[in-house]
Each structure stands twice: as C-alpha cells, then as structure tokens.
Structure 1
Amino acid sequence: MSFVVNLALGLLFGLGLVVSGMSDPAKVLNFLDLFGTWDPSLAFVMGGAVVTAFIGYRLVFKRQKPLAAASFQLPAKKEVDRPLLLGSAIFGIGWGLGGFCPGPALTAATLGAAGTYAFLPAMFVGMWLARILASKRAAAAA
C-alpha cells in the first residue's frame, strides 16, 4: 500500500509542478531575475506551498503515526553546520544556473524538456559524490 500511496502523491506533486510552471526553467529563471524580466508568480506558488505545508504538518502530527508507515521519520540533527550551508549554496547556484531543482527536473524530463538531459546526469553525479563525502566524513569522525 505504501508504494501506491507514494506513487499517487508523487504524481500529484508532479502535476502541481506542471500546472504552476515550476517545471519550466524559463519561468524559474525569470523569477530569479530580479532586475530583468522578473516574474513574481512563483512567489505565490511558494507561498501557497508554505501555507499548505504549515497546515498539513499541524494536522498530520496530531496522529500517532503516518497513514502509510509504521512511524514518523524526522531528522534528529537540528543545528546549522558547514555541510548544510555548503549544500544549500551549491543547490542555489545550480537552481539559478539551470532553472531546475530535482523535483521539477524529473517532471520536465517526462515532458521532453531538453535541458533536463544535461541537468539530471549532473544532479545524480552530485548526489553520488555527496554520499561519498558524507560517508568519508562519518568514517573520519568515528
């Protein structure tokens, strides 16, 4: 059942990305271009997402456990550290240069967007390298 629920939610998320324009890198880049062809419409998309998530989390955490899992899986780490800041900066630079972040890039690839065929392999290599660096850092700390 968990797979079906996750698949349905992923499809709903992807549909939302397409409808909102988040899977179009030109729209995203115009949103990031504050002094050029700025398009503020994605701010409303993000605002709607923040409000929805805020309400959703309040409702979900009133439950003893999630509907499709044995327990909630929440991050234990709460401090802002160097790897978090560095990863955020790399993510932001990549988003600004390519107009994609992971979810919209996967959605755009299914729509045949040409830019994703360069972005996705680079994203997967970056994720692989991040795991290698994290495991080396954990081994050095132990």
Structure 2
Amino acid sequence: MTLKELFEDVANKRWFFFYGRKDYQNLIELEKDVIGLFVEPIVEDPKFNEYGEATMTYSGRFLLAVHSDVDEEYDYKFETYIKPIKENQLPFILTALQCNSYKINQFRILEVINMEDMNVDGKLVSYNLTLID
C-alpha cells in the first residue's frame, strides 16, 4: 500500500478525503460539520547505501480540518473543532503509520484558524517518515 493509499484508507468512511496540490484542493467541497483530510503531494526521497539498496523517506503536509463560522470566538473554535481533531482524529493517522512500517521522524502540528477563504479550523501537519522494511 502506498502512503497516499494509506491516508485514503484511514479517511475512508471517517472523513472527506482529497489528494492534490494545495491550489487544487477545493475546500468548498467540504460540507459543514464534516472533517476533511487534505493531503498534499508526497515527496519521496530515497537514500542509497554502498550496495545500492534504498531506504525510502517520505515528507509532506496534510490538513485535517472542519468548516467553521468566521464570527465564532477562539475558545469556542478550539474546544469544538481543534481540540477534538487533535485528541480524537489525529491518533487514527499516527496509529495507521506506525502499524504499516513507517518510522515517524517528524510530525509537526500547527493549529489553524479561519484558514483560506472557506474558514476551516483544525491541524496542519508536516511530516517526515521512513519506510521500515
């Protein structure tokens, strides 16, 4: 299973899923109260040892977010959207990565509020993973 397929599998029946460049990600497709997983194209970085064997490292970003109202107060947004995404949704992705032979080298999580023109709140994650054979 490719990393893209893994993200899609985790999202299946749980969240709206979209894979593609950020400028092609149409946040308007995300319905109110539905969590979206927007995965940007994955960078593959093979490292070769002296015998020509490759160790594959992957990096990229994904956004796990939900529509909100721009007029809502920060505390409400945090308690209603951001905190549940971090505590209840991100663990699905972490577990899937760890159970599918990925070593997590970096998993940097940024809180986003009123992101883009569609006012989405959630977590923007930058990751770096190594596939363990």
Q: State the TM-score, normalizing by the size of structure 1.
A: 0.27
Of Structure 1 and Structure 2, which has the larger fraction of its residues in helix? 1
Please report the TM-score for the alignment, with normalisation by the length of structure 2: 0.29
